[in-house]
Amino acid sequence: MYLKGLFDKYNGEFNKFELIDNKLRLSDRPDIHALLIFDKLLKGNYSLIAEVVEETLYFNIDKKELLDIITEDQVRDLCRCGVYYSSYSNRLTMFIRNYDE
């Protein structure tokens, strides 16, 4: 399955961070939790963030490498953090928003 298909599968859980069990959270902040998932999965010392345009964060992630190692549970949790696969930019993306609103 392609990375986009995996993210599409969990689209119904998009931005539902509260569904991640507190015991399994790497952070109480969805954006930090997502970054820590990527950090644990991907080797290297490069920036995980490629760019930020207005309120959109674009990840600097090798999709083929990620697809080989990511689990469906990790994809689901990334979706719950607000990460999605953008067909427009053809990369993993996250909106930056205030979760207190």
**Phi first, then psi: what are they for 7, rounded to 5°?**
-70, -35
Q: What is the spatial distance between Cα 40 and Cα 24, in angstroms, rounded to a whole number?
A: 14
Model confidence, pTM: 0.90
Q: Is residue 101 part of a domain?
A: no
Query: Residue-wise pLDDT tens for the chain (101 aa)?
Result: 588 999 999 999 999 999 999 999 999 999 999 999 999 999 889 999 999 998 899 999 999 999 999 999 999 999 999 999 999 999 999 988 765 65
The residue behind tokens 């205030």 is: 98
Total domains in the chain come to 1
* Cα separation values, 96 from 13, 43, 50, 55, 57, Å: 17, 25, 14, 5, 7
Predicted local confidence at residue 1, as pLDDT: 58
Predicted local confidence at residue 98, as pLDDT: 66
Instruction: Take residue 43 and report the two structure tokens written for it.
Output: 């080797």
Predicted local confidence at residue 59, as pLDDT: 96
Query: Which residues constitute the domain of residue 7?
Result: 3-95
Q: Is residue 33 part of a domain?
A: yes
Q: Is residue 100 part of a domain?
A: no
